[in-house]
Structure 1
């Protein structure tokens, strides 16, 4: 073996990689036997997967069609709030936002931000029911045009994004605007796949929230709103019953709330 060839080999064997790959091959062989793919179908799949990778849509496809099943397999039987998709629109290092004198977290937004004002409140607890004070909350959502800042929106960076802490009772209240349903990108290979499945590209309106607390497993989840027309047919299958809340109409704004339960570190 030449020096050029050996420099690409790992320095140490990774037994976990070998274990997972062997399982993958085992179950792939069973899948192929059950599906009875012919070589043309296999070649068409490889070519489509090549287009998916070259288009940069592999993370999108994995988020929408694979991650939800991975999460369900890992967490459905465990206590605590069910996780949901991280999604492709997360951004690291959103600004920290301090609560005002009334304990309200006013998310960064444009002057006269379009959309219905929403006050969303949450309570963060452990599986033992203890409030988790000073837990870090990382929050992001789309705007009234169905766009996310830092990606395809005209809004300033970090619009409707922010990090903050729960109070001494594990509570927080965010002042924001109501998120809206939106379609995932459907003009490339992902959209081609949707066409094969006769599946629409829509996701129901939702909020993204990530929770971190010492001694607890990071919780990445979403919040959905009862009555959304896309709730039952979410293209990403990210909806969980316990993540659905009710919107209450107030005088000039809306309110919603939900409780979140974090699991202990394993």
Structure 2
């Protein structure tokens, strides 16, 4: 509840002016949101008796942390909260659920090379254990979705992503795979590692201040899309990771933890075209029916540009 000071006529008038409610023009919804945000800041300052020094230290911390703000959204649970709201909205509308959604994160790069049916994601420079992942894209009635696009990206064994890690080749561990006539996809890569937020950065400092860590379990990101179907943003986590159920980004969902089978049988190794044991994951994606053309597409959140 706002304090007497925040509720005072003087401060309420100030909030109206800050939000542009005293002038014509502008978007009414944005005005209302701005008024609420600034009003909450005023209330926090008053309730916790935030000093002028504390305020400016906090503001400068935010300014210094601008390059890491993409990590703040998952780290503060905001991305997970948005998914929770979307799940509840789907349930209220009676939308048939497919594969569970979970967060995108800040490290997607558009424009990855497109392959038909199967692809190799890595450039061979990282000597991690080979991962073969395969499965089928189906609709909620169990029918295969031919021509679906499985857009996949993940980190290397050091927890780094290409583009953001300039030592990696362009689109390393990033591909788009078009499913075959039976809705099947397959790719070869390496088993990725989990990662932590940048050491000494603002995200880590913020989390440590409240007794939290900034680690993510090993995972693989996906966008899955097809005409007439709802765009899916999801990721699978690698079973056995020590942070599997302690993800700083709160993205772990039990339905998205597939079994990892380590293939050591010589016949299986030979059939996969390999010379040593490898890990295998079988995972199917289920896409719901789109209720509108907008539901078929990727969200319009800002992302980096495709690599030229």
**TM-score normalised to the size of structure 2?**
0.72
Which of 275, 278, 294 is the matching residue for 1:253?
Answer: 278
SS for the counterpart of 1:53 is: helix
How many angstroms apart in 1 are the aligned matches of 2:120 and 2:36?
A: 48
User: Who is 2:79 aligned against?
Assistant: 67
Measured after TM superposition, the shift of residue 193 of structure 1 is 1.0
- The alpha carbon displacement at 1:61 in A equals 0.6
1:23, CA displacement in angstroms?
5.9
Does structure 1 residue 207 correspond to structure 2 residue 232? no
Structure 1 residue 37 and structure 2 residue 37: aligned? no
- 2:63 pairs, out of 41, 53, 62, with 53
8 Å CA contact 2:204, 2:213 repeated in 1 = no
2:100 maps to 82
Task: Provide closer, same or farther for how the CA distance between residues 46 and 163 of structure 1 changes in structure 2, counting only shifts above 3 A.
Answer: farther
- Counterparts of 1:159-174 in structure 2 under 5 Å? 159-174=172-187
In the TM superposition, residue 43 of structure 1 has moved relative to its aligned partner by 6.6
The equivalent of 1:5 in structure 2 is none
Residue-pair matches, total: 248
The two structures, once aligned, show a CA RMSD in angstroms of: 2.7
Runs of 4+ in 1 over 4 A off after TM superposition: 19-26, 29-33
Q: Could you tell me which residue of structure 2 aligns to residue 228 of structure 1?
A: 241
Q: Is the 8 A contact 1:248 1:255 kept in 2?
A: yes
SS at match of 2:115: coil
Task: Write the distance in 2 (CA, Å) between the matches of 1:137 and 1:124.
Answer: 9
CA distance in 2, matches of 1:229, 1:15: 47
Larger-Rg structure: 2
Does the aligned pair in 1 maintain the 2:74–2:248 contact within 8 Å? no
Q: 1:263 aligns with which of 278, 288, 292?
A: 288
TM-score, structure 1 normalization: 0.82
Give ranges in structure 1 of 5+ residues lacking alignment.
Answer: 1-10
CA contact (8 A) 2:133 2:188 kept: yes
Partner of 2:75, secondary structure, is helix
Equivalent position of 1:8 in the other structure = none
Unaligned runs of 5+ in 2: 1-23, 265-276, 292-308
Residue 257 (structure 1) shift: 1.6
CA drift at 1:216:
2.1
